[in-house]
Amino acid sequence: MKNHIEQLVQWLQQQVKEAKVNGLLVGLSGGIDSSVVAYLIKQAMPDHSLGIIMPCKSHGQDEDDAQLVAESSGIDSVTVDLTDQHDLLFNGIKTQLKDKNEWNEEKERMADANLRARLRMSTLYTIAANYNYLVVGTDNAVEWYIGYFTKYGDGGVDLVPLLHYTKTEVRQIARELGVPEQIITKAPSAGLWEGQTDESEMGISYDTIDAFLNGEQVDEKDEQTIINMHQRTAHKRALPTSPPDFHHFTLE
């Protein structure tokens, strides 16, 4: 993995150069993916990299873990608590729709969760513009393939260095980089509601999806689940859908 790390660091440096920006930043959650990205961008841009810690009704342990990663990687960090902003916006929207008797309780938890991810995205772009930095995403091959991210939330980024790495490989890279073991071994979670873990929500294990992506044989039912998730989320990996160019078709 040493070789991969060197290449990823060089690739990040090249992106900074080509985009003519000053540096790179990442949202630091205390999870393994953003920890790996933090270590990589710190290596790529030692004096121009930033980790943004954004609690939003989050578990205190996650913030402690994010702080630990900031310290162990040496990356500069800023904390922006989004709890009040989220409450204001979410409850404002909810009140308006409730008044019209059109609030869908069944969709509430997911709407609340996705708004957290999109508030984080907005925060990252506001800070990126301030420093003239790029926003670095943390999606790995599994999350990308099955669309396990919020469209224009944590999926709304400029660079995705881990896109071709399975979760197993991300763990290997993390060990090589020196990410603290407690971060590597904790259960992956989007942290969007109490008790959420990726595997319980996806209904399938990272090991199974890793195996599928590696072209290995997996249980037929699991294979179908993965393919269904991939197909259902194709829109998240594409540019917005547009109609044909009727205007120019009529010109001749």
Ligand X SMILES: Nc1ncnc2c1ncn2[C@@H]1O[C@H](COP(=O)(O)OP(=O)(O)OC[C@H]2O[C@@H]([n+]3cccc(C(=O)O)c3)[C@H](O)[C@@H]2O)[C@@H](O)[C@H]1O
Ligand Y SMILES: Nc1ncnc2c1ncn2[C@@H]1O[C@H](COP(=O)(O)OP(=O)(O)OP(=O)(O)O)[C@@H](O)[C@H]1O
Q: Which residues are part of the catalytic machinery?
A: 33, 143
Residue 27 assigned ligand-binding role: yes
Enumerate the β-bridge partners of residue 52: 27, 78
Nearer to ligand X, 198 or 210 (CB): 198
| Secondary structure letter of residue 151 according to DSSP | T
Nearer to Mg ion, 77 or 189 (CB): 189
Of the candidate residues 188, 204, 209, 226, the single one contacting ligand Y (CB under 6 A): 188
- Of the candidates 167, 211, 163, 165, which has an alpha carbon nearest to the alpha carbon of residue 189? 167
Of the candidate residues 191, 206, 208, 209, the single one contacting ligand Y (CB under 6 A): 191
77 touches, from ligand X, ligand Y, Mg ion, none (C-beta below 5 to 8 Å by class): none
Sort strands 76-79 and 133-135 into parallel, antiparallel or unpaired.
unpaired
Nearer to ligand X, 113 or 159 (CB): 113
Residue span 213-252 as binding mask against ligand X, x where in contact by CB under 6 A, dash where not = ----------------------x-----------------
Residue 138 assigned ligand-binding role: yes
Sort strands 49-53 and 133-135 into parallel, antiparallel or unpaired.
unpaired
156 near ligand X, rule: CB under 6 A: no
- Applying CB under 5 A, the residues found at the interface with Mg ion are 29, 31, 189
Give the whole-angstrom CA distance, residue 6 versus residue 236: 30
Question: H/E element holding 183?
Answer: helix 181-185
Give the whole-angstrom CA distance, residue 104 versus residue 201: 21
Give the whole-angstrom CA distance, residue 119 versus residue 101: 26
64 near ligand X, rule: CB under 6 A: no
Q: Which residues contact 176 (CB under 8 A, 6 or more apart)?
A: 1, 2, 5
107 near ligand X, rule: CB under 6 A: no
93 near ligand X, rule: CB under 6 A: no
Q: Which residues contact 6 (CB under 8 A, 6 or more apart)?
A: none
Residue 112 assigned ligand-binding role: no
Per-residue tokens: 209:
């999806």
Of the candidate residues 154, 167, 169, 225, the single one contacting ligand X (CB under 6 A): 154
53 touches, from ligand Y, Mg ion, ligand X, none (C-beta below 5 to 8 Å by class): ligand Y
Q: Phi and psi (nearest 5°) for 203?
A: 75, 20
- Binding site, annotated residues: 27-34, 118, 138, 143, 151, 158, 167, 189, 235-236
Binding site for ligand Y (CB under 6 A): 26-29, 31-34, 52-55, 58, 62, 120, 138, 143, 154, 188-191, 198
